[in-house]
Amino acid sequence: METLLKTHVQTQRAVSPEGLAHNFGITRGDSSLHPTTPNRPIQTLVVDDHAAIVNILKLAFTSEPTFQVVGGVQSVNEALKMLSSTDLLITDLQFGHATSGIDLIREAKEINPKILIVVYSGLDSADIIREVVNLGVNAYILKPYDEAEVVKASQAVLEGKIYYSPELTPILAKNKEMAHKSEKLKLLTEREIDVMVCLAEDLTTKAIASKLNIAAPTVAVHRQSAIRKLEVNGVIGLIHYCYEFGLLKPGQ
């Protein structure tokens, strides 16, 4: 296991661009909660269902006086008992066949809103990464980046930075794009959305007018207004929005 953790490509280092959360539209907690000059060692809890990884991470932090590892556990239930006195949580997401590490992160935020969280996981599903990042984690390191990368990420988050493996950049960029589109969608009126959905249902202007009980010229006005607000290229762009944001009912 230790050999596996050492075999990442040295040129593919994780990055910590300051302001990345803002750039990618990530919802995060107040960075002012993050201690930059702690008066005591950062109470650190390591959680992973592999004992070897727990031990390797604990050992990696022993030479770092800023941190004090107060626990290394292999289950979510064990971790829950220690969250109230933990400053920094380093956790995997997958325990057995379940992604209960996500539940652990949610619970940690409830119990201790100031807690710093570093995810160290082999899961690279875009949906999972978006969910975890939007829960407000401070770092996401992919395995098999080694334990030194986890320490480096932990040091960065103490300075109020975020720290993600470079492989996550395309996913975070997509997150930003969807957030931007969502803001545009809020500009539409309810009637404009109704017309947009009808267009996605392949209804004609006449059929839309009949269904919504409005005049055909009014349908055209709403259609053009939606195109302008969303800054899309015609009706096709409106239809794409409907599918991206699940505006169509099942079966349509």
CA dihedral over 93, 73, 139, 9, signed as positive or negative: negative
Q: Tell which CATH classification among 3.40.50.2300, 3.40.50.1370, 3.30.750.24, 3.40.640.10 matches the domain 2-176.
A: 3.40.50.2300
Task: Give the pLDDT score at 26.
Answer: 39
Number of H helices, E strands in the chain: 12, 6
Q: What is the mean pLDDT of residues 3-26?
A: 38
Q: For the chain, state the CA radius of gyration.
A: 23
Q: How many CB atoms lie within 10 A of CB 28?
A: 14
Q: Give the Cα separation of 109 and 88 in Å (integer).
A: 11
Where do the structural domains in the chain lie, given as residue ranges? 2-176, 187-244
Q: What is the mean pLDDT of residues 205-223?
A: 95
Q: Tell which CATH classification among 2.60.120.260, 3.40.50.1820, 1.10.10.10, 3.40.50.700 matches the domain 187-244.
A: 1.10.10.10
Query: What confidence tier does 9 reach under pLDDT thresholds 50, 70, 90?
Result: very low
Strand partners, 68: 43
Q: Give the Cα separation of 38 and 68 in Å (integer).
A: 12
- pLDDT over 90 at 59, yes or no: yes
Longest dimension (CA), the chain: 74
Question: In which element (H, E) is residue 67 found?
Answer: strand 67-73
Q: Do domains 2-176 and 187-244 have the same CATH topology?
A: no
Q: Give the Cα separation of 19 and 12 in Å (integer).
A: 21
Average pLDDT, the chain: 83
